[in-house]
């Protein structure tokens, strides 16, 4: 009996990786992904079947929005049963946002959705795109005992595989553009692809669920020395904002006074959700550590633990769309969906 090869779908949404040099005008242009093996012939050596779909109008990373998140998610969900794994090619600037969003859209995911991209176009001599693409496909096709090794949304970049909703872009000029500060890598690619099996997410239920929809009624306040109370009150009082994220110092501290605490309490009583997220990229929010944090906690502010900014924003927008009651959204903020929080056992989004 001939063993069936894994089927992998490449989805090109846009970004640097899909560009090649056009000799006619000396500019970069997206190449035809239906001819991907001509541009990257090494793909013919991977033991899998590869199909590719490209957006008709590739999206620059900075132009990504929730509609594009839904477009990518819907496309994958529509073809979910036909393929063993998916590789999404995406611009690097907002990759962590999009990949985090998809990690919350697919619940109990049992197949790999691997995001990758590049810092240099795939058509340039020194591109990092070829290695990123080749290894991302190998990871998406990899199986152990008949099951996919990776069963979550991940980002592969510069020899490292990370959980998508733990990543942050840290460099615009180095090949190792992403880091996962609060969770170890899922795999490292060298001569072999070495998986950290204990770090991989394993679905606890067989049925994959999919939810597509976001409510972007969210805003942020970045605290800095000298910020005025009038500036803060204006943002707190915005009636169109349903979730307000406070980007605070250290473990979740900010300069408090009675006027600000009263404003926070008043807004929470009105139904606004206020979340405390540290400006630090490593570590977590601990509102019990200092007096300022304890005041926020007593006022009803939710500490975001060690979630990344990208994960918190995309998760909050999905929860606002999925749940109608403030109490439900507030509860689910700290309920793990796909391994985005360290302090809790991995859990899944439930009604």
Which of the residues are catalytic?
A: 16
Q: How many CA atoms within 13 Å lie on the side-chain side of 81?
A: 3
- β pairing state of 243-248 and 147-148: unpaired
Alpha carbon distance 143, 103 (integer Å): 20
The structure tokens listed for 322 are 């999925």
Q: Give SS3 for 314.
A: helix
Alpha carbon distance 103, 108 (integer Å): 10
Q: Please enumerate in sequence order all residues whose Cβ is within 8 A of that of 204, keeping only pairs 6 or more positions apart, or say none.
A: 108, 346, 348
DSSP E strand boundaries for the chain: 7-12, 19-22, 27-30, 49-54, 85-89, 106-107, 113-116, 143-144, 147-148, 153-157, 160-163, 168-169, 178-179, 187-189, 193-195, 209-210, 218-222, 243-248, 273-278, 302-303
Q: Please enumerate in sequence order all residues whose Cβ is within 8 A of that of 173, keeping only pairs 6 or more positions apart, or say none.
A: 119
Q: Please answer whether residues 348 and 152 qualify as being in contact, where contact means their C-beta atoms are separated by less than 8 angstroms.
A: no
At residue 111, what are phi and psi to the nearest 5 degrees?
-140, 155
Q: Please tell me what DSSP assigns to residue 337.
A: S
Alpha carbon distance 339, 187 (integer Å): 16
Q: How many CA atoms within 13 Å lie on the side-chain side of 177?
A: 21
């Amino acid at each position: 009996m001939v063993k069936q090869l894994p089927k992998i779908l490449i989805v090109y949404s846009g970004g640097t990786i899909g560009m090649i040099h056009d000799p006619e005008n000396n500019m970069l242009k997206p190449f035809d992904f239906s001819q991907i093996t001509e541009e990257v012939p090494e793909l013919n050596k991977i033991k899998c079947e590869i199909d590719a779909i490209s957006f008709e109008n590739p999206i620059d990373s900075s132009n990504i929005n929730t509609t594009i998140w839904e477009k990518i998610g819907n496309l994958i969900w529509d073809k979910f049963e036909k393929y063993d794994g998916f590789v999404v090619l995406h611009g690097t600037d907002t990759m962590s946002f999009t990949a985090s969003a998809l990690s919350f859209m697919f619940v109990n995911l049992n197949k790999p959705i691997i995001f990758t991209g590049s810092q240099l176009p795939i058509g340039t001599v020194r591109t990092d795109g070829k290695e990123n693409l080749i290894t991302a496909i190998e990871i998406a096709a990899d199986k152990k005992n008949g099951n996919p090794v990776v069963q979550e949304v991940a980002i592969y970049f510069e020899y490292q595989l990370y959980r998508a909703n733990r990543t942050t872009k840290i460099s615009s000029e180095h090949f190792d553009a992403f880091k996962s500060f609060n969770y170890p890598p899922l795999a490292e690619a060298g001569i072999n692809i070495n998986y950290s099996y204990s770090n991989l997410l394993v679905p606890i239920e067989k049925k994959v669920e999919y939810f597509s929809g976001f409510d972007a009624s969210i805003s942020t306040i970045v605290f800095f020395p000298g910020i005025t109370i009038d500036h803060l009150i204006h943002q707190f009082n915005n009636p169109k904002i349903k979730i307000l994220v406070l980007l605070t110092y250290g473990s979740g501290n900010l300069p408090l006074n009675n006027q600000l605490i009263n404003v926070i309490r008043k807004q929470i009583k009105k139904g606004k959700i206020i979340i405390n997220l540290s400006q630090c990229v490593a570590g977590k929010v601990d509102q019990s550590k200092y007096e300022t944090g304890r005041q926020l906690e007593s006022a009803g502010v939710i500490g975001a633990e060690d979630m990344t900014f990208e994960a918190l924003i995309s998760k909050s927008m999905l929860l606002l769309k999925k749940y109608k009651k403030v109490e439900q959204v507030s509860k689910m903020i700290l309920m793990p969906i796909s391994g985005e929080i360290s302090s809790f056992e991995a859990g899944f989004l439930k009604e």
